[in-house]
Amino acid sequence: MDEAELQRALEGQDEAALEEMARRLARSEVDRGRFRALMGRGPELALSASARWEEAVSKAEGMRTAALVARILRNGIVGDTEAQKCCFCVAASAVATLWKTTTFTFEDNDDARLLSRTLVQLLSNLVTQNDELQGRLWSDALGIGRIKEGTTRDGVDLVIRLLQSPDQGTSAASQVLVLNTTVDSGARSEILVQKSAGATLMRCLLDLAQSHVEEDEDEEEGAEEQVLHDNDSGLAVPLEDSFTKKRRTRMENLGVLFAIFDNIMDRGLFDKAYSSLAPINEEHSLVSASQLTLLKLLDAKLQQKHASVGKDDAQSLLDAFTKLATWAQSSMQDVINAGPDEAKPDARLVEVHVGLVLLCQCLIQLSMSIVSSSAPSPAQSILSLMRTQIFVGTLISLLHTTMEFSPAISPFKSTAATPVSQPPQGHALSQTGAATLAAGAAGVSKSNDGSRPGMDNLKRDLVSLLGTLSFYRSLPTPTEKEKESESESVRIVQDTTREKGGLFDVMNLTQLDERNPYIRERAIFALRNLLRNNEESQNLVARLRPVEANGTS
C-alpha cells in the first residue's frame, strides 16, 4: 500500500476496492503500519476522507461508500497513538455528520445507519487508551454537559440518540464509546454522576441494561415452552435456541453497561449516582426505575466480586432503606387500620417493595462479606452502622407490619378452597381437611385476595439481614478489645430485637410461605444467632414451652 493507492481508494467510487482495503487493514499489521506512516505525513488524507461523508449526507446519496471510507480509517488507527492523533482532526466532522444521520429524515435509511455505526466505531477507536484525546472528544467535539455555542444542543443528546438507535450495532458501539471515555478518568466519571447531562446519560444507559435483562428473561421463558415431539412417541426434546447469537450479543452489551457502572462504583461514586437519579416528584414515585436498576447492578457486583463499598456509599444505602422502610410501614399500616373493605394500597407501594428487596440484598451481601471474613476489613464500619438500635428497630417494625399486611400462604392449603369445594378426582378429604372447610375457610382471606401487593421475598430478606447482623464474627487472633466490641454490637441487635417483639416475629416465620421461599431456614438461622449467649432472650423463649398439668414441660 502506497500513498497513491490509498488516495485513489479514498477518492474513488469502487465499493469493492474500498471493502478490500478495509479488510486488509483489519487483518494485516504490515498494511496498518504503512497506513499509519502515510497518515503521519499530515492530516490531508484524513480530511479527504471526512469530506466524503460530509458530502454524502448533504446530498443524501453515496452514504454506503462514505461508510466504507470511514471503515478504512477505523481499521487503520487501531492501537496506535500516533495514528489516533493524526486522524483526530476528523472527530468534529464525524460528530457533525452523526447529528444529521440520526435525524428523522434518515430513520429508515439503511446506508445512513451503516454510516452512523461506522462513525461511532471510528470515534471509539480514535480515543481508546488515549486520555488526552478522550478529554478533547468529550469536552470539545461532543461537548458533554454544555450547550454548544450558537445552538441549543447538548452533546449528551447526540450520545443518547446513538444509544437508543434501532440499529443494535450503533447502540453497542455507543456504549463502548461511553466506556472508553470514562473508565480511566475520574473527572469524566464525576460528570456522569453530578451534572444533569450526566444523569440523563446514566438513565439512558440503565434503561438499556434493564431492557437487556427483560429480553433475556422473556427469551428463556419462550425457549422452555418450545418442544419438539418425536412423532407420537411422547418423547419431548428441547428445541435448540434459535436466538443464541442475539443472546450472546445482548450479554456482551450488558457486560459493557455493567463495566461503565462498575467503574463508577469502584470510584466510590454510587451515593452520588443514586442521588442524581432520584425521582423529580415524590408524589408520583419514591424510587425511580433507574435507581432500581442501579441497585440491581450493585447487587450483581457485590455477589460476583465479593466486593465492598465505601462508608459514604454504605450510608446512602442505609438512608435509602430507612426512608423506604418508614414510608412502606406507614402505608401498610394505613391499609391494615382501614380494614379489608375500605383500604386501597398506595400505588407507590409496588415500586417501594422492589426497592426494599434490592436494598436488603445489597446490605445482606455487604454484611456477609464482613462477618464471613477472618481478616480485618475496611468495610467494618458498615456493620457498625447497621448494628444500632435505630436501624434494627426500623428493620423489626417493617418486618412486623409486613407480616400483618401479607400473612404467610402455606403451600399445603388451597387459596381457592370454599365450603362447597370438592376434593380432586380420586382423592378424599381427611377429617381435618373437612373440618377446616366446614369451619369457615370461606375462600381467600381479604389480605390475600390479590387486592394487596404480596410483598414477595421481603420477609425472607428482612429476616436474613437480621440473622446476618446478629452473627458473631470469628477473628483469627482477636484482642480483648475486639472481642468486647463484637460482643457489644451483636448484643445491641439481640436486645433491640427482643425489646421490639422481634423474637416472636422471627419464631412465627419458621413456617412455609409460598411468597418467601426458604424463609423457614433463614428464620431458624436468625433465631439461633439472636439467642446465642443472650440469657434474657433464651429465658423469654423458654417461657413459651408448653407445661403439663403436673408442672413438667
State residue 3's pLDDT score.
64
Q: Where are the alpha helices (DSSP H) in 164-266?
A: 168-182, 186-194, 196-225, 244-266
Residue 18 has pLDDT above 80, yes or no: yes
State residue 551's pLDDT score.
56
Q: Provide the pLDDT confidence category of residue 232 given band limits of 50, 70 and 90.
A: very low
Residue 307 has pLDDT above 50, yes or no: yes
Residue 77 has pLDDT above 80, yes or no: yes
For the segment 185-213, the average pLDDT, to the nearest whole number, is 91
Nearest CA to 142 out of 151, 55, 168 is that of 151
State residue 149's pLDDT score.
43
Q: Provide the pLDDT confidence category of residue 439 given band limits of 50, 70 and 90.
A: very low
| Tens-place pLDDT, residues 503-517 | 999 999 999 999 999
CA dist 128 and 174 (Å) reads: 13
Residue 416 has pLDDT above 70, yes or no: no
**Across 222-231, 279-288, 533-542, least confident range:** 222-231
For the segment 480-499, the average pLDDT, to the nearest whole number, is 93
State residue 58's pLDDT score.
86
Helix (H, G, I), strand (E, B) or coil at 344: coil
Q: Provide the pLDDT confidence category of residue 390 given band limits of 50, 70 and 90.
A: very high
**Across 32-36, 459-463, 524-528, least confident range:** 32-36
CB 274 within 8 A of CB 324: no
Residue 249 has pLDDT above 60, yes or no: yes
CA dist 152 and 141 (Å) reads: 15
For the segment 530-548, the average pLDDT, to the nearest whole number, is 88
For the segment 142-155, the average pLDDT, to the nearest whole number, is 60
Q: Work out the mean pLDDT of the chain and round it to a whole number.
A: 84
**Across 168-182, 216-230, 337-351, least confident range:** 216-230
Q: How many CA atoms lie within 13 A of 327 on its CB side?
A: 21
The cell for 36 is: 499509519
**Across 9-13, 88-92, 185-189, 458-462, least confident range:** 9-13
Residue 295 has pLDDT above 90, yes or no: yes
Strand partners, 238: 227
DSSP 422: P
State residue 233's pLDDT score.
38
Residue 237 has pLDDT above 50, yes or no: no
For the segment 219-224, the average pLDDT, to the nearest whole number, is 57
pLDDT cut 90: percent of the chain above it? 49
Nearest CA to 531 out of 548, 544, 518, 519 is that of 544
Helix (H, G, I), strand (E, B) or coil at 445: coil
Residue 364 has pLDDT above 60, yes or no: yes
State residue 535's pLDDT score.
96
Residue 201 has pLDDT above 90, yes or no: yes
| Tens-place pLDDT, residues 371-381 | 777 666 656 77
| Distance set, CA 328 to CA 115, 397, 453, 516 (Å) | 50, 10, 12, 18
**Across 153-162, 241-250, 386-395, 517-526, least confident range:** 241-250
Residue 294 has pLDDT above 60, yes or no: yes
| Distance set, CA 423 to CA 222, 428, 430, 440 (Å) | 33, 6, 10, 16
State residue 510's pLDDT score.
93
Question: Which residues make Cβ contacts (< 8 Å) with residue 281, sequence separation at least 6?
Answer: none
Residue 241 has pLDDT above 70, yes or no: no
Residue 483 has pLDDT above 70, yes or no: yes
Residue 287 has pLDDT above 70, yes or no: yes
The number of beta carbons lying within 10 Å of the beta carbon of residue 249 is: 15
pTM: 0.86
State residue 298's pLDDT score.
95
State residue 155's pLDDT score.
79
State residue 440's pLDDT score.
44
Residue 45 has pLDDT above 90, yes or no: no
Residue 110 has pLDDT above 50, yes or no: yes
State residue 33's pLDDT score.
85
State residue 48's pLDDT score.
84
In sign, the C-alpha dihedral spanning 473, 479, 480, 484 is negative
CB 72 within 8 A of CB 49: yes
Residue 399 has pLDDT above 90, yes or no: yes
258: left (phi over 0), alpha (psi -120 to 50) or beta: alpha
State residue 413's pLDDT score.
63
Could you tell me which residue, 216 or 248, shows the higher pLDDT?
248
Could you tell me which residue, 387 or 417, shows the higher pLDDT?
387
